A and B are shown apart, each in its own frame.
Chain A
Amino acid sequence: SSELTQDPAVSVALGQTVRITCQGDSLRSYYASWYQQKPGQAPVLVIYGNNNRPSGIPDRFSGSYSGDTASLTITGAQAEDEADYYCDSRDSTGNHGVFGGGTKLTVL
């Protein structure tokens, strides 16, 4: 399968921990990356590979894997974390990219 499935929406109380998941067969073979997108802005890479954070991304963002599911965890969510989050990986052939449908995170 070439699809990555995400929950459309998730909410978290300010300061609490939230996990956003991404499921797909290709994740058994390839790592995912995670992107944060705020309205009117280009996406920003927050996690890639085996739990790597680009420079400048707060350490409250972390990634993990279990079987065919990748997860993005925000520990101690802040108001500025409210955004759309997308996972990305390769398809089953490894030759093409594929994005999940995105998860809208609301921080209450």
Chain B
Amino acid sequence: QVQLVQSGAEVKKPGASVKVSCKASGYIFTTYYMHWVRQAPGQGLEWMGIINPSGGSTRYAQKLQGRVTVTSDTSTSTVYMELSSLKSEDTAVYYCARDYGSGSFYLFYWGQGTLVTVSS
């Protein structure tokens, strides 16, 4: 069965960077695009970006362009999301979510979420 297992919670200071991992299993890793979505406390969902694990092409939300980088490692079936120049507003639960296919934007499977807290 498809599983997306994310790395554990992080606490970072403003200005620092954070890198969250998402290890996929149960399917052919390079066949399906992966998205990152975040949710600030008590707020709605926010789409962050998408990666084609086969080749590594990416697209990012304009709001985060320049601060977010999504990469993939096909040898370990893992996708990474790195967010730099952290601000308190970046405090959120970060989710990876597998696409239905090649960029359908239907998010079929979700990781368990990773809480990132930005605090001085």
A interface with B by C-beta (< 8 Å): 30, 33, 35, 37, 42-45, 48-49, 54, 86, 88-90, 95-102
A18 to chain B, nearest CB (A): 19
B interface with A by C-beta (< 8 Å): 35, 37, 44-47, 50, 59-62, 95, 97, 100, 104-108, 110-113
What is the chain A residue whose CB lies nearest that of B112? A42
Complex Cα gap A100–B37 (Å): 13
Main secondary structure of the interface of A (DSSP, over half): strand
Contact B105 A89 (CB under 8 A): yes
Complex Cα gap A59–B45 (Å): 25
8 Å CB contact of B47 from A42, A98, A102: A98
**Residue among A49, A54, A96 with the most chain B CB within 10 A?**
A96
8 Å CB contact of A97 from B44, B50, B108: B50
B3 to chain A, nearest CB (A): 12
Contact A86 B108 (CB under 8 A): no
Contact B45 A86 (CB under 8 A): yes
Which residues of chain B come closer than 8 Å to A43, judged between CB atoms?
37, 45, 95, 97, 107, 110
Contact A45 B106 (CB under 8 A): yes
Which residues of chain A come closer than 8 Å to B104, judged between CB atoms?
48-49
16 pairs across A/B with beta carbons < 8 Å?
A: A33-B105, A33-B107, A43-B95, A43-B110, A45-B106, A45-B108, A86-B45, A88-B47, A89-B105, A95-B59, A96-B47, A96-B59, A96-B62, A100-B44, A101-B44, A102-B45
A16 to chain B, nearest CB (A): 26
8 Å CB contact of A48 from B44, B100, B111: B100
* A-B residue pairs, 10 tightest by C-beta: A97-B47, A48-B106, A42-B110, A102-B44, A99-B45, A33-B106, A101-B44, A97-B105, A86-B45, A90-B105
Complex Cα gap A58–B69 (Å): 37
Which residues of chain A come closer than 8 Å to B46, judged between CB atoms?
99
